Amino acid sequence: MSVNPACHPLRGDTLITNVHLACMHPDQPPAFENAAVLIERGQIVWIGQVSELSQVSADETFDGQGQWLLPGFIDCHTHLVFGGSRADEFEQRLHGASYQQIAAAGGGILSTVRATREASEDQLFASAKQRALTLIAQGVTSIEVKSGYGLDTATELKMLRVARRLGDELPLNIACTFLGAHALLTDFAGNAQGYIDLVCEQMLPKAVEAGLVDAVDVFCESVGFTLAQTRQVFETAKGLGVPVKCHAEQLSNLGGSALTAEFAGLSVDHIEFLDEAGVKAIAASGTVATLLPGAFYFLRETQLPPIDLLRANGVPMALATDYNPGTSPLCNLLLMLNMSCTLFRLTPTEALQGVTCHAARALGWQQRVGSIAVGYQADLCLWDIAQPNQLAYQFGDLRPSARWFKGQLQDL
């Protein structure tokens, strides 16, 4: 019997059928009801209506029973690898000390640096793995992990190796960000320039050479590094062919965002103090604004990021945990969905875009993950919810009912 090739169904290894899709692709309709997704070798190869299933065939079919399928979530800003705890500082802050005062007294980031230097690579991996598993259970399939608690070449590389290993051993895409310019150690007191020279001449080139750097970040702030020092690190990154991002405008307006825009940076993060000129600059460069409501909440900040200006200028807004021991010991991306709506007045759709397509863009991965679209990696989560807005509304009792990473159905 001859087969007409035009009628031959498209083959895949997995068909997920009977689902509603929240595609989270900027160019696609927000919802696609009664739909099916065909996966072949880890990639989405077809999306259609249940009524069009005769066009496809698959080795295995998964019945989604009318639940919602979303892209796996992306936590695009974390400091997941660190030693120690800062619970005592939390208590000091409850007695009136400010984050800046604690940092000036040698605590803060520097206390985590001490603990991270002392921890072995395996110890750091074990604690980071637990945190990553916690995020995975919430529907996360991609995580950005920063260095920045080493502040010497050996420890920065140790942290980045731990981050890479998370991606090797867990069902996760890991983006490694070098944040050597995170804080100034007391050994370099009064010599910030000397430290930045060390970052640019030794630490960053070595980390890049070891294949451990997907992006470079700087803490551009009065308690971090100046604009000129940030520029020097960005110039070095550019010379090494690595994209940049910035902890910018968190506690004051130094202009780190406009500088990041000048380097066509991936994202500017925190940005509570970003002004209109800064918003225009990142709008023009296509840089993502990453909002971190966990740190805003934990530091009891009152200055809101300029959400209306970001919206009016069409700046993509991402959302992340900023998971770290000092300003956001909050290992929960679903909590950030809710907080971004309650604290920053994002809509649930904006919040969901913030942990999918726009978070992907903040990593330079917008062609690969963060959307349900043909050609994208099949990182998907199924949710037993009435509508996607439930994910931003409700907190504490929602977990995905199924999870695929690179097309493979995972044990939950």
327 binding partner (options Fe ion, ligand NIG, none; Cβ < 5 to 8 Å by kind): ligand NIG
Q: What is the maximum span of the chain, computed from C-alpha positions, in angstroms?
A: 83
Minimal distance in Å, beta carbon 247 to Fe ion? 5
**Number of other residues whose CB lies within 10 A of the CB of residue 63:** 11
Residues 121-160 that bind ligand NIG (CB under 6 A): none
Residue 295 contacts ligand NIG per CB under 6 A: yes
* CA-CA-CA-CA dihedral for 379, 22, 135, 409, to nearest 10: -40
Minimal distance in Å, beta carbon 116 to ligand NIG? 10
Minimal distance in Å, beta carbon 111 to ligand NIG? 8
Tracing tokens 């065909």 back to the chain, one arrives at 38
Residues 213-232 that bind ligand NIG (CB under 6 A): 219
Residue 322 contacts ligand NIG per CB under 6 A: yes
Minimal distance in Å, beta carbon 335 to ligand NIG? 16
Which range, of 155-163, 234-242, 324-332, 367-375, touches ligand NIG by CB under 6 A?
A: 324-332
**CA–CA–CA angle 380, 384, 389 (5° rounding):** 85
Minimal distance in Å, beta carbon 78 to Fe ion? 8
CB 244 within 8 A of CB 265: yes
Q: Which is nearer to ligand NIG, 20 or 247 (CB)?
A: 247
285 binding partner (options ligand NIG, Fe ion, none; Cβ < 5 to 8 Å by kind): none
From candidates 247, 358, 361, 403, binder to ligand NIG by CB under 6 A? 247
For helices 121-137 and 153-169, the axis angle rounded to 10 degrees is 40
Q: Which is nearer to Fe ion, 89 or 322 (CB)?
A: 322
Q: Which is nearer to Fe ion, 69 or 248 (CB)?
A: 248
Encoded tokens for 134: 């916690």
Which range, of 107-115, 136-144, 170-178, 273-281, touches ligand NIG by CB under 6 A?
A: 107-115
Minimal distance in Å, beta carbon 159 to ligand NIG? 13
Residue 112 contacts ligand NIG per CB under 6 A: yes
From candidates 107, 180, 255, 326, binder to ligand NIG by CB under 6 A? 326
Residue 371 contacts ligand NIG per CB under 6 A: no
For helices 109-118 and 153-169, the axis angle rounded to 10 degrees is 70
Residue 173 contacts ligand NIG per CB under 6 A: no
165 binding partner (options Fe ion, ligand NIG, none; Cβ < 5 to 8 Å by kind): none
| Residues contributing to the site for Fe ion (CB under 5 A) | 322
Residue 325 contacts ligand NIG per CB under 6 A: yes
From candidates 236, 324, 353, 371, binder to ligand NIG by CB under 6 A? 324
Residue 250 contacts ligand NIG per CB under 6 A: yes
Encoded tokens for 38: 């065909």
From candidates 21, 109, 283, 315, binder to ligand NIG by CB under 6 A? 109
272 binding partner (options ligand NIG, Fe ion, none; Cβ < 5 to 8 Å by kind): none
Which range, of 36-44, 66-74, 105-113, 340-348, touches ligand NIG by CB under 6 A?
A: 105-113
From candidates 267, 327, 356, 377, binder to ligand NIG by CB under 6 A? 327
The residue ranges that bind ligand NIG (CB under 6 A) are: 108-109, 112, 219, 247, 250, 295, 322, 324-327
